[in-house]
A and B are shown apart, each in its own frame.
Chain A
Amino acid sequence: MHNTPRPKLAAAAMTALRQEIRRIEGFKNPSGRGALRFGIPEIDNALPEKSFPLGVTHEFISQHAEETAATAGFLSGILSLLLRESGSIAWIGSRKTFYAPGLAAYGFDPKRIIFIEADRSQDALWALEEALRCKGLAAAVGEIGDADLTATRRLQLAAEGSGTTGLLLRTKPRKTGNSACVTRWHISPQSSFPERELPGLGAPRWHAELLKTRGGRPAAWDIEWKNGQFRLPNSPAKALPFRQALTG
């Protein structure tokens, strides 16, 4: 790359090539729903196309209830950015675990959720795939414990076809092997820092690890949800390089 004689042309060719690869990778964005940005350059730059891709699937791994709750908070933040314009979401799960009055604190209206209860995991996978095939939804959240490569590939294809974004909440998965999801996250709770050291709890704060991303680079940040948006905390927080070896 360093010995290119005509950098401008090469850059154009590279851009075209990159776009072609993105297309093959499934970033068709056929619905033209645009991109979702965290509004934080450190995070957006680590993501493919410098944004959180829509019309694809993302997975969030959590190992215990506290992490699942943190993930639900983080996910609700994403949903609130996603639903800023319009649209509704399907939420597929096995039990009535998630509590709408609490989700509402993240700036999106749980009245826009259609809850779908599926007790058996194969029913939940099926329902999520059906929801992802539906062009009428902005996103589908699925509480899916285990999903292998084949299953996630089906979900990814369904999302690519419709432009509906899939968010897989994978709680206590027995295996986290390969998956066809475009990103994989791990969100864990972090101690909050109330402003000016007031008593009580501060804004929700998490350690967000982008474990895998197609076309981006894995990284990790401390991140807060405050005043209806994501932000990096003022106190100790900087993009920490994370397992660079996983790139690709």
Chain B
Amino acid sequence: MQRRYISIWFRHLLTDWTAKQKPDMKDRAFVLCAQERGATIIMAANALAEQAGASRGMTLADARAIAPDLLSVDFEPGRAQKILSAMADWCQRFSPLCGLQLPDGIWIDMTGGAHLFGGERKLLRDIVLSFQSFGYETRAALADTPGGAWAIARFGRKQPIIPPGELRAALAELPPPALRISQETAVSLRSLGIRTVADLYRIPRASLSRRFGAEIMLRMGQALGDFEEPLTSQMPAPEYAARLHFAEGLSTPEAIAKVLQRLMDDLCAQMNVKGCGLREGILQAFRLDGRAERLQIGTGSPSRNPKHLFKLFEEKLGFLDPGPGIETFILSAPKTEQFVSAQNGMGMDADNYFHDDNLPELIDRLAGRLGAKSIYGVAPRDSHWPERALKPVGPLEARPAENWPLDKERPVMLLARPEPIDVMAPVPDDPPLLFRRKGVLHRIRRSEGPERIEAEWWLRAGELRDYYRLEDETGNRYWVFRAGHYKPEQKSEWFLHGFFG
């Protein structure tokens, strides 16, 4: 397929941005300046400053000699990249493949996609009008290569859209700097009387490269499509994505839900073909006013069930603010996993009780509302310390094979914090005869113990515990302990730690 690229040029990117921040500057001639080797150098000038004679690279003093009223604002390194990044994010509504052409432009790979936005002419017009409405002087072009589109956007005098195959001719009449060559090369070309790209076409390639080095060959090759230009997309394009565009903009929850359903069917069909399932999904909604909304879901195991995945998003659709309307929806799966059907048992523990196909969907739904941390399984841990005798595992993870130790009696309920109780124990190391808890006196009828549990000193400082199982006269069963060794000179501290069934 013939590749098609858009290049957008913001001629006064930094000054337009500055004027947006400080509207009172809008109608004044101003420049952005930086200190370089002791001089104040103009890094960018707005249109009014340029008319007055100021230009990039001049010192501020020289410019003020021509235009005394020139205002100066501090230049902010890195600002251009920040603005362009935000712009490239916005451009993702047109294509997932887009990125920066520093210092003042953006490229978009529109290959095979322009018809979704009403054709190349309408698309390009919409892009230019949108950026202009955001306050940026904008030019854009569409051609077969990113380099070619760059040249036409900045130097083109005729039509901004170069039909497929006509780029060579369209570039011919442009000056050599349209090829993105260095300043020195441009100067020496001019000194040789080479005024247009057509002049370059006429020079044999071998002598061209001998005379001017590899740079000009590379740049010309990139512009003409002889060499592939390495481009870095703002976002890595997800392998699985579905998009829908609506010129009018959608805002009712019903319409949005319907769109999401369609996108989900599309996305799941794509994943179905490749035998993988979604682990992470992102819905991007691009609004008419230029803002973008975003919802994200995750699953505990790969899924390509559109109904299920839709439900996960449905819970969150309320957070999507459509504003004046949403024109473009993009549903993508940045993270997928090869789908292992639960039935064939591949990669599953034979002892796993969680084979059922319905479980992953339940877990995802619960996690979507309660948070993934709230859903877990438990497995025994090799520790005598009661609070540490179990560990959490993933809800559907195959559990380790080891069994729960049943040689020691353990309560069915364990208090998160042992509760201090008053105990009467007549003889050291004897079980309590009675204890008081919440004002109620419990007379002990049966008891077992002590079971001594040593603190795991390598994990925590703490005293050993002597545990007793107690049954009071009404049949209530308790797990209590005395903290530390019995010391005759000191009152023992007793705690209730759990209840037996």
Tell me, rounded to whole Å, the shortest Cβ–Cβ distance linking B361 to chain A: 8
Whether, in the assembled complex, B67 has its beta carbon less than 8 Å from a beta carbon of chain A, the answer is: no
- What A residues does B257 contact at CB under 8 A? none
- What A residues does B386 contact at CB under 8 A? 99, 101
Cross-chain contact B413 with A102 (CB below 8 angstroms):
yes
Number of interface residues of B (CB under 8 A): 52
Give the distance in Å from the alpha carbon of A76 to the alpha carbon of B411 in the complex: 12
Whether, in the assembled complex, A42 has its beta carbon less than 8 Å from a beta carbon of chain B, the answer is: no
| Supplied contacts A113-B377, A134-B359, 16 more A-B pairs, CB within 8 Å | A66-B476, A69-B501, A72-B413, A73-B412, A88-B359, A101-B389, A102-B411, A102-B414, A102-B501, A106-B501, A111-B399, A114-B395, A116-B374, A117-B370, A136-B357, A201-B471
Give the distance in Å from the alpha carbon of A23 to the alpha carbon of B474 in the complex: 41
Cross-chain contact A118 with B370 (CB below 8 angstroms):
yes
Tell me, rounded to whole Å, the shortest Cβ–Cβ distance linking A100 to chain B: 5
Which of B91-99, B155-163, B444-452 sits within the interface?
B444-452
Whether, in the assembled complex, B83 has its beta carbon less than 8 Å from a beta carbon of chain A, the answer is: no
Number of interface residues of A (CB under 8 A): 57
Q: A70-B501, A101-B410 are in contact. Are A110 and B378 (CB under 8 A)?
A: yes
Give the distance in Å from the alpha carbon of A134 to the alpha carbon of B378 in the complex: 21
- What B residues does A100 contact at CB under 8 A? 378, 380, 390, 404
Give the distance in Å from the alpha carbon of A126 to the alpha carbon of B365 in the complex: 11
Give the distance in Å from the alpha carbon of A17 to the alpha carbon of B473 in the complex: 48
Tell me, rounded to whole Å, the shortest Cβ–Cβ distance linking B394 to chain A: 10
Cross-chain contact A111 with B413 (CB below 8 angstroms):
no
Whether, in the assembled complex, A95 has its beta carbon less than 8 Å from a beta carbon of chain B, the answer is: yes
CB-defined A-B contacts under 8 Å, sample of 28: A66-B477, A66-B499, A68-B413, A69-B413, A69-B499, A76-B501, A86-B353, A88-B353, A99-B412, A100-B380, A101-B410, A102-B501, A103-B412, A111-B378, A113-B377, A114-B375, A126-B369, A130-B362, A134-B358, A135-B356, A136-B354, A136-B357, A189-B474, A189-B476, A191-B446, A192-B477, A194-B446, A201-B469
Cross-chain contact B501 with A111 (CB below 8 angstroms):
no
Tell me, rounded to whole Å, the shortest Cβ–Cβ distance linking A230 to chain B: 13
Cross-chain contact B477 with A189 (CB below 8 angstroms):
yes
A interface residues (Cβ-Cβ under 8 A, vs B): 65-66, 68-70, 72-74, 76, 86-88, 90, 95-106, 109-118, 123, 126-127, 130-131, 134-137, 188-192, 194, 199-202, 204-205, 225
Chain B window 372-392, contacts with chain A (Cβ cutoff 8 Å), 1 for yes, 0 for no: 001111111000001001100
A131, closest chain B residue (CB) = B362
Give the distance in Å from the alpha carbon of A130 to the alpha carbon of B374 in the complex: 15
Chain B contact residues: over half helix, strand or loop, or mixed? mixed
Tell me, rounded to whole Å, the shortest Cβ–Cβ distance linking A16 to chain B: 34
Give me the 5 closest cross-chain CB pairs, A-B, nearest first.
A73-B501, A136-B356, A69-B499, A136-B358, A104-B404
Tell me, rounded to whole Å, the shortest Cβ–Cβ distance linking B312 to chain A: 12
- What B residues does A68 contact at CB under 8 A? 413, 499
- What A residues does B476 contact at CB under 8 A? 66, 189
Q: A101-B405, A105-B410, A136-B358 are in contact. Are A111 and B379 (CB under 8 A)?
A: yes
Tell me, rounded to whole Å, the shortest Cβ–Cβ distance linking A141 to chain B: 12
Tell me, rounded to whole Å, the shortest Cβ–Cβ distance linking A64 to chain B: 9
B351, closest chain A residue (CB) = A111
Give the distance in Å from the alpha carbon of A205 to the alpha carbon of B501 in the complex: 8
Whether, in the assembled complex, B498 has its beta carbon less than 8 Å from a beta carbon of chain A, the answer is: yes
Among B376, B395, B404, chain A packs the most CB atoms within 10 A around the CB of B404
Tell me, rounded to whole Å, the shortest Cβ–Cβ distance linking A85 to chain B: 11
Tell me, rounded to whole Å, the shortest Cβ–Cβ distance linking A201 to chain B: 5
Chain B window 413-441, contacts with chain A (Cβ cutoff 8 Å), 1 for yes, 0 for no: 11010000000000000000000000000
Cross-chain contact A74 with B501 (CB below 8 angstroms):
yes
Tell me, rounded to whole Å, the shortest Cβ–Cβ distance linking B70 to chain A: 62
Whether, in the assembled complex, B339 has its beta carbon less than 8 Å from a beta carbon of chain A, the answer is: no
Whether, in the assembled complex, B273 has its beta carbon less than 8 Å from a beta carbon of chain A, the answer is: no
Whether, in the assembled complex, B406 has its beta carbon less than 8 Å from a beta carbon of chain A, the answer is: yes
Whether, in the assembled complex, B295 has its beta carbon less than 8 Å from a beta carbon of chain A, the answer is: no
Among A88, A99, A113, chain B packs the most CB atoms within 10 A around the CB of A99
Whether, in the assembled complex, B200 has its beta carbon less than 8 Å from a beta carbon of chain A, the answer is: no
Whether, in the assembled complex, B75 has its beta carbon less than 8 Å from a beta carbon of chain A, the answer is: no
Cross-chain contact A205 with B475 (CB below 8 angstroms):
yes
- What B residues does A86 contact at CB under 8 A? 353
Give the distance in Å from the alpha carbon of A208 to the alpha carbon of B398 in the complex: 36
Give the distance in Å from the alpha carbon of A104 to the alpha carbon of B412 in the complex: 9
Chain B window 455-479, contacts with chain A (Cβ cutoff 8 Å), 1 for yes, 0 for no: 0000000000000010101111100
Whether, in the assembled complex, B310 has its beta carbon less than 8 Å from a beta carbon of chain A, the answer is: no
Cross-chain contact B362 with A102 (CB below 8 angstroms):
no
B363, closest chain A residue (CB) = A114
Give the distance in Å from the alpha carbon of A76 to the alpha carbon of B469 in the complex: 20
Cross-chain contact A115 with B376 (CB below 8 angstroms):
yes
Chain B window 333-374, contacts with chain A (Cβ cutoff 8 Å), 1 for yes, 0 for no: 000000000000000000001101111011101100110001
Whether, in the assembled complex, B117 has its beta carbon less than 8 Å from a beta carbon of chain A, the answer is: no
- What A residues does B17 contact at CB under 8 A? none
One of A65, A96, A115, A135 near B377 (C-beta < 8 A): A115
- What A residues does B409 contact at CB under 8 A? 105
Tell me, rounded to whole Å, the shortest Cβ–Cβ distance linking B479 to chain A: 9
Cross-chain contact B358 with A191 (CB below 8 angstroms):
no
Cross-chain contact A97 with B414 (CB below 8 angstroms):
yes
Cross-chain contact A111 with B411 (CB below 8 angstroms):
no
Whether, in the assembled complex, B131 has its beta carbon less than 8 Å from a beta carbon of chain A, the answer is: no
Whether, in the assembled complex, B90 has its beta carbon less than 8 Å from a beta carbon of chain A, the answer is: no
Tell me, rounded to whole Å, the shortest Cβ–Cβ distance linking B431 to chain A: 10
Give the distance in Å from the alpha carbon of A76 to the alpha carbon of B369 in the complex: 28
Q: A73-B501, A190-B475 are in contact. Are A114 and B377 (CB under 8 A)?
A: yes
Cross-chain contact B359 with A69 (CB below 8 angstroms):
no
Q: A102-B414, A105-B410, A130-B362 are in contact. Are A204 and B405 (CB under 8 A)?
A: no
Cross-chain contact A105 with B406 (CB below 8 angstroms):
yes
A65, closest chain B residue (CB) = B499
